[in-house]
């Protein structure tokens, strides 16, 4: 990810600022995380800690934190229109939750032409 660590962002929270408003189920997130981790028993939704929601331009986001082999990682649910994406990655760049969400939106919409 680009050098988002040097930037500060204030993002509007969704109402409610909770996972209950997201466009996918926790079972879908659980399946995604287990697929990404090769099916390890402790790799699912239960290990996530909800951090926040956000409105970014025309999109909505939900963000969780979790431990991945001793390193902080983030899990996201991003909704833009009808498109919903679940993602997860280690936070090697040591970004704040807000920096990480902006970086994810930037990657989806600028680098990949979304």
Q: Give the separation between CA 113 and CA 60, rounded to whole angstroms.
A: 18
- Over residues 62-86, the pLDDT tens digits come to 999 998 888 899 999 999 999 999 9
pLDDT of the residue at 80: 92
pLDDT of the residue at 1: 47
The number of beta carbons lying within 10 Å of the beta carbon of residue 27 is: 10
Q: How far is CA 104 from CA 19, 27, 42, 82, 99, in A?
A: 18, 22, 25, 17, 9
- Over residues 87-108, the pLDDT tens digits come to 999 998 899 999 999 989 888 7
| Stated pTM of the model | 0.86
Q: Give the separation between CA 13 and CA 73, rounded to whole angstroms.
A: 21
């Amino acid at each position: 990810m680009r050098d988002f660590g040097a930037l500060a962002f204030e993002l509007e929270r969704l109402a409610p600022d909770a996972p209950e408003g997201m466009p996918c189920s926790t079972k879908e997130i659980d399946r995604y995380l287990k697929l990404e981790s090769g099916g390890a028993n402790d790799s699912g939704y239960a290990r996530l800690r909800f951090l926040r929601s956000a409105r970014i331009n025309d999109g909505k986001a939900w963000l969780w934190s979790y431990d991945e082999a001793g390193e902080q990682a983030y899990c996201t649910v991003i909704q833009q229109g009808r498109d919903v994406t679940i993602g997860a990655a280690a936070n090697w760049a040591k970004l704040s939750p807000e920096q990480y969400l902006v970086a994810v939106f930037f990657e989806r919409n600028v680098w990949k032409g979304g």
